[in-house]
Each structure stands twice: as C-alpha cells, then as structure tokens.
Structure 1
C-alpha cells in the first residue's frame, strides 16, 4: 500500500527525502506486527494439524507421519528459495509494490486451497484445556506430599488420548496418583497417564535450554552471513547480473533440502534395517548431529571471514560463503526438523499445537539471546581496546565472534549429550483404536 497509494508514499511527490512521514511509519509497523501475529497464530496450529492427519495406530500411516516434518520443511524451503530469488528480483528490478502483490496473491491462493480441502481433513475431538490436567497433578502431588507412593490410580480407558506407561523418574509426582479413597476429587487424584504427561513437560526443560546455542548460530545465517555477502563480488555471467545479497540465503535452503532428502530416503531406511528402530535415528541424536554441523559451520565461517579480511573483498567471489551456508543448511535439516518432531511427538497428545509453539520459542528466544550476546561482546571487547563489531565489516572481527559461537556450541554439545543420556522418551501403551474412534467423524464434514 505504501508504494501504490500516493497518500502513503514516504515523501509524497518529492524524492529523495530525509525521513518518512508519520503515517508511513504507522502503516509499516502495523504490517510488520500483523505478520508476527499471523505467524505466531497459524504456524504452530497448521504444522500440528498437518501431522494430525496421520493415524499413529495405523502401521502404514505411522511411518508416513515420521516423514511428515521432513517434507513439510522441504516445502517451506522451496517457498524460501522462490522468496529470496524470484521475489527479491522483482523487488530490485520491478518494484516493491509488485513483489508485495505477488505475495498477497500467493497467500490468498493458499487460503483458498486450504478451505477447499476442509471436508477431507481429520479433526481431533476437543479435549478441554491441556493445562488443566497438569495443574491437577501439581496440586494433587503437593496435597499428598507426605504420603508414600503405593497403589497408583489409572483409568481403565481414557476419554481422550492414549495411556502412558509409568516411569521411575520424578517420583515425587507419583503421589498425585495415590489412591486414598474409593471416590476422590480430580484435584486430589490424578491418573498415571496424567502424571507421566507432567513428567514429559518437565523433562523438556533441559532439552529446550540446551538447544538455545544452536538457535543462536542459526540466527547468524540471516544476519551476519548476509551482511558478509554485501562486501563480496556478487556478479555472475561475466558481470551481466549481480546476485542480490538476500538471495545468498538460498544456499542454506538448498543445503536443508538436500539433507532432508538424504536423511529420509537413504539414512532412515538404512538404519531401520541395521537397528530395527522404526525411526532409524532417534529424535534427540538427530538434533545432536545437526548441532555438530552448526558448530562446524561457525568454524568455516570464521575461516572465510579471516580470508576476506586479508584479501580484497571487492574481487573475492560471494561463493566463498557457499560452504558455511550449505553446512548450516544441513545442520537445519537435522536439528531444526528434529526439534519440530520432538516438540510435537513428546508432548501430551492434547498439547501438540503448544509443543510446536515451544519449538518456535527456541528460535525466538535464541534470536533475543544472539542480540544480547552481541551487545555483551561488543562492550567487553571495546573495553579491551577494540570492539569486534566496528562501524563496518572491514573494521570488525566477525571471525573471532564465529569462533566464540563454535566454542559455546561445542561445550553445549557435551551438556546436551549428558541430558539426552538421561532422557526417557514417551512410552505409549499400544492400543487397537481405529481412526474413527480417535477422530470426530462428524467433524470431517464441517463446512
């Protein structure tokens, strides 16, 4: 709108201008906030809704579900490729208004396709607030904190979700399931499954914390990596075409797509035959592999940046950045997709949208921590004589910062490995529940 409606032009009819008008700022930030609110609302819900279309009690659909997040992210990366190449080209060579109209049309088409498929979707039966059972467990365990865990209560059949096996960890929560009388209030007596769901959420806290350094490294690929590309020679085809800086991010998307395809089509079938594990590689080791690639990408980025500082960056090709983009893309293919699967699969069945939101919170919190780390490093190194972050990249020492991130990620890997070694995956009791029992058949025909 700011490019199409004359009244919203930053300078009106005059150009250039020193600063935008107030109404232009209002519309700009309103658009940015709408994107943030929309992403926060649709992304957790849509991703978990897509995975819910597979029946976990059906042997074939169960295997397909394990590949869902791989192909979901492949689709996202394909969209990203078009976004940082075609759309960016339109922005630079046609107009921002044309690019924004293209994106608006694509979103409108996607909403239309989504609505047309509504009669064929599977909808989970509403199960009330997913936080209520967790609160009941906490309150019941506190009320019976002085009792010795003996006979534990479990419902013969759950109204919603699946039963979980009892585990010996966090045993103080088991007190919530101690039977005191024949009839007890739900706020004084919880089932074993509800207790185990509470344990699952508590066990996620160390995993969430130890994946933050990975997120900090990922944040550099869309910030400092792009900034590096602006100082390098981006001309191709004999200087006839110049690659936009934002388009270099396509290399990370290519790396991620390649990693996902190799993982899903080669590694998973191979390890299924070798280990007998239906997943091939368990979720948490997969995330750890991705973290290793991420640490390696920081080391490579430091080496490339050191070469850039020592050479004439105007004659140094932007494709020197390709290794660090590709490696961090491969890391995303393992860790980022693994995090999505972990936070979807290991939360209680009624909290899967919230689980995907927890995954997104890792990336969001990591971006804040990245900014905080940069601020701290800037102030500390400035007191030491010269800041690592100068007025431009040529007066900065990003190579030192990348090595610092590599060191933090490597040290964190040791902590992560310890946490994973003590982690217990969700252990579901096998049932013969069919898809029509688990899903609301009437809801499929909702208009």
Structure 2
C-alpha cells in the first residue's frame, strides 16, 4: 500500500470501513469481497488443516515407533508441538495487523509450513536420518532414542511446520471474515454463516486427513504421508493466490501495542488523580450513543475505572498541550478495557483444549492396544477414529445453520440464533462427558481378558466433536465481533492461543500426575506414577481421565461466573444480544 493510500485510510477509517484490493486501490463493492472471495480462503483452510492434521493426529505413532521416545515423552513432544503451533498464532496476528496484512502473512508463512513438510518427508524416507528400527514394546531390546543430528533435523522440520501453521491460522479466519463489510447490514448478517461454513471447511479437511491421509501413512509409510501433506499444502497456497484479485484487504495500521502502552503509561502517570463523577469531563467522551462497527467512537463503560485516569486533563496551568502518552481519549481507554475483559473468557477455554490434547495422544494409544479389525483383512488405523466426530459435524453443521439458527433467531431475536458466549457455555458443559466416557471405557478395557473393539472409544470422540462445534465456533465469532479496528487477526489469534495453553497444560498435568502418584502408586503398584509406564495395561489412564473430568466441571462453573461478569461496549454491536448473553449492560 502506497503512502497516499495509507494516509487516506487513516483519514477515512474514523467514518467508514476501508479496504483495498491487491494493487492497493480502494475496493469496489460489486467486484471485491463477499462469499465469492471467501471461498478461496475456505479452500486454503481446508487444505492446510488437511496437511497439519494428518501430521499432528498421528505424530505420536511416528515419534514413539520411529524416533524411539518413551510413551509419556512422545505424548509431550506432540502436545508441545501443537501448543507451539497455536501460541505462534499470536505472532501471525501481530504481523498481519501491524505490518504485512493478512494476505501476505498467509502467503509467506504458507511457504514456511510447506518447507517443514518437505523436510519431514525427507527424514522419514532416509534411514540414515532416523534411529535403527526397533520394537519399542519389546522388553528384551533397548531402543536408542533419536539424538544429535537426527533429533535436530526432526525438530527443525517439526517447528518449521509449527511456525508456518501458527502464523496462518488466525489470518485464514480473519481474512475470510474481512470479505464481509461490517457497515453493510446484509453482509454483516452473513458473518455468523461464514463462521459456521469455515468450521464446515475445517471438518472436511480434518475428515480427509484422518481417513485418507492417515491410511496412506499406515499402509505406505510416514514418508509418503508427510509428502502427501506437503502436496496438500501446495494446493492450499495455489487456492490462496487464485483469489487474490477478489479479496478485500485490510491495510496494516502499524504497531497494535503502541496505543495500549500509551493508555497504561498515562493511567500510571496519573494514578493519584481522582476520576470525575461526571464521565462527560473525560477527554474524548461521547455523550450520544452512536452505533458504529469500527472502534472510532466507543462509549464509556464502568469496568476498570482506574484506566479512566488516562483521560483526565492536567490541572496544571502551565500545561498547554499534553502528549498522547499523558492524555488519552475515552475510545483509546475503552479499547484496552475490551482487551482486558476478554482475557477471563479466553482463560476458561484452556481446560477444554487440555481435553482435546488427550484425544490426540493417549486416546490414540488406547486404540493401538484394542482390537482394530473391521474385517478379517482390514484394520482401522487408531488415529482415524478422530474422524468420527468430524463426519458427524458434516451433518450437524448444515443442520445447525439451516434449522436451528432460524428457529432460535425467531425465539431470541438474535441474528446468530444464540449469542457466542451462550454457544461457548454449551460446549464447555458437554465436554466433561467426553472424559467421563473415556474413563469408563478405559476401565472396561483394562479389566477385559481379551482386546475389546476399538469402537468402544467412539463416544468420547463424538461427544467432544459436538462440544467443539459449540465452543470453537462460538469463541472465534465472539473474538472477531469484539475485535477493534486493526486488531481482528490478533484477537482471533487468542482463540488459537487457548489451544496452545491447553496443550502445554496437558504436558504439565502429565508430569505432575506422575510425580504425585509415583513412589508406590498409593496401592496401585506404579513406581513411575499413573502414566509412568510405556504399557497402558499397567498405567492408570482411567484415573487421569477422571481428574480431567473433575477439572472440566470446575472450569464450567468458573466460566458461568466470568460470562456473567463480562460486559460489552454497546458501540461495537447494534444488537446487544449478539454479543452478551449472561452479561448485564451497564448504563452509559
């Protein structure tokens, strides 16, 4: 974007929503944006999730069998990798909003991810880059772990994939949503439909990854499987570039942290000031309730009143004009209040994603020691069981959009049917039953004298799939609708950051549980703790699942408190019900 366009954007952003085409020129409503442009973004989302899911969901098998890491360490390698992917989404959101824009961020880091897949495929194909083949389940043979150059190549490849995927994820969602103008009522109503369609695209990618690609990995080898992931990523990049002429691109607006820092510095500098009882005395206060879809005229709210001190004008007669680091507007302060307000909601989804980590690690290993035969000649790859909820979602998501939303819309008057916070709450409630089911099935498996069918672990995946449809989509919609001008990608990245913390917490919980339950196992005879062995028949995975179920119940009640506490700024939405559900709107 040239200097003149950037200057025009800064001047006009206070009044209308401004976007540019791939050449940096103003967009035309009949040529740019809309679902036609969003389809290309949905395409790269489907191919990218197809590529990364085929690796992430079956990675524990490769790390355990080929790299020869112990089971608990293998699980931590996987959770740390996936956690890093989602943590790096903050970097992708920051670069997009501040400097590169979402399209260029996706293009650059898409090639980074592609290089990681290629390097993984090369390592899996060349025996000299892996430890010698060995049976990890054999007690007579000591299998050496991958170390030195072999470990270095593996982790470099793995974290190139993590860097690329992490920086892509928030931008795919926000760039697709940016194709719908918030200042156009007709297109604004399509946002909720887009988020449901994006989740449908995600499910398609996951389903193909967990069936076709995992089958290829199992039958043809991980080198071929990683190669197919690389091919899928290349197709995704081609899809992204193909839609370039149709995109509405939000211009980057410089560092998103500078305005936040100004408010915090000004509030700290004037911490001894007393806030006026009449909020109209605050600098930049809006007296008329103007509804806008950008953040140019945010109204004052009552939470975090200590930040209002940044809006108090200096009483010193010698002060003629205060710098932006000493005096902020109400709108600037309210932007920071919104960021602080969404943090507790974000934190309440961490336990949810800790449960997801178990389904991608220990539940896969459950399937390995169960009867995987579908017919005498065909066995189901254990990782493919994770495709069951996505198969269900391919049926439920269109039904939700075409049947439930119109009915709920008539009952609630909410354009989305139910508010994003209500949707998240339903998901956090139902996910508990996924761990209850997992614990009961694991106990049945351990007590059985013969291997039971792998389909016994289907319910835990099904229940989680339903809860994810509510939680994941609701959280993304919530963050995007509460996002401020120039921060859509960064706030969307907070959704993925929740995944990151969830997977990192899983690693911490595994280590903590092993430490607490070691030394005799409290009557269970496990010196290494509940998860300290490489044999699930000796571990107590069922007890670990019960711990997670209990944490999930506590987390749900914690969420109820914070969702009731949360209050939105009425300037961000013309329909209060579309954002807040438990929250009471404070008078302004």
Q: 3-state DSSP class of the match of 1:350?
A: coil
Residue 266 of structure 2 corresponds to: 140
Cα offset, 1:291, TM superposition: 0.9
Query: Does 2:388 correspond to 1:388?
Result: no
Report if the CA contact (8 A) 2:177-2:191 is conserved. Answer: yes
* Greater Cα shift, 176-185 or 198-207: 176-185
Change (3 A) 1:258 1:287: farther
Residue 306 of structure 2 corresponds to: 172
Instruction: Determine the C-alpha separation between the residues in 1 that align with 2:285 and 2:194.
Output: 32
Query: Does 2:464 correspond to 1:328?
Result: yes
CA RMSD of aligned residues (A): 2.8
How many residues end up aligned between the 2 structures?
Answer: 429
Instruction: Determine the C-alpha separation between the residues in 1 that align with 2:124 and 2:505.
Output: 39
Residue 267 of structure 1 corresponds to: 404
When normalised by structure 1's length, the TM-score is 0.88
Residue 406 of structure 1 corresponds to: 549
Instruction: Determine the C-alpha separation between the residues in 2 that align with 1:29 and 1:380.
Output: 30
Cα offset, 1:3, TM superposition: 9.2
Residue 27 of structure 2 corresponds to: none
Instruction: Determine the C-alpha separation between the residues in 1 that align with 2:125 and 2:404.
Output: 53
Instruction: Determine the C-alpha separation between the residues in 2 that align with 1:13 and 1:287.
Output: 43
Instruction: Determine the C-alpha separation between the residues in 2 that align with 1:206 and 1:96.
Output: 40
Change (3 A) 1:179 1:429: farther
Cα offset, 1:407, TM superposition: 1.0
Query: Does 2:366 correspond to 1:224?
Result: no
Cα deviation, 1:355-375, whole Å, max 9, x if unaligned, reads 122111111111111111121
Query: Does 2:174 correspond to 1:48?
Result: yes
- 2:443 corresponds to which of 282, 296, 306: 306
Pairwise mapping of residues 231-270 of structure 1 onto structure 2 (< 5 A)? 231-236=369-374, 238-270=375-407
Residue 372 of structure 1 corresponds to: 508
Cα offset, 1:422, TM superposition: 1.1
Report if the CA contact (8 A) 1:10-1:21 is conserved. Answer: no
Residue 289 of structure 1 corresponds to: 426
**Which residues of structure 1 form unaligned runs of 5+?**
432-447
- 1:343 corresponds to which of 451, 474, 479: 479
Cα deviation, 1:375-395, whole Å, max 9, x if unaligned, reads 111221224243322521111
Cα offset, 1:81, TM superposition: 1.2
Instruction: Determine the C-alpha separation between the residues in 1 that align with 2:429 and 2:453.
Output: 27
Change (3 A) 1:335 1:259: farther
Residue 562 of structure 2 corresponds to: 419
Cα offset, 1:201, TM superposition: 0.9
Cα offset, 1:46, TM superposition: 2.2
Report if the CA contact (8 A) 1:287-1:334 is conserved. Answer: yes
Residue 119 of structure 1 corresponds to: 245
Q: 3-state DSSP class of the match of 1:428?
A: helix
* Greater Cα shift, 14-23 or 117-126: 14-23
Cα offset, 1:223, TM superposition: 1.0
When normalised by structure 2's length, the TM-score is 0.68
Residue 64 of structure 1 corresponds to: 190
Residue 127 of structure 2 corresponds to: 10
Q: 4+ runs of 1 displaced by more than 6 Å?
A: 1-8, 12-15, 155-158
Instruction: Determine the C-alpha separation between the residues in 1 that align with 2:120 and 2:469.
Output: 37
Instruction: Determine the C-alpha separation between the residues in 2 that align with 1:390 and 1:25.
Output: 23
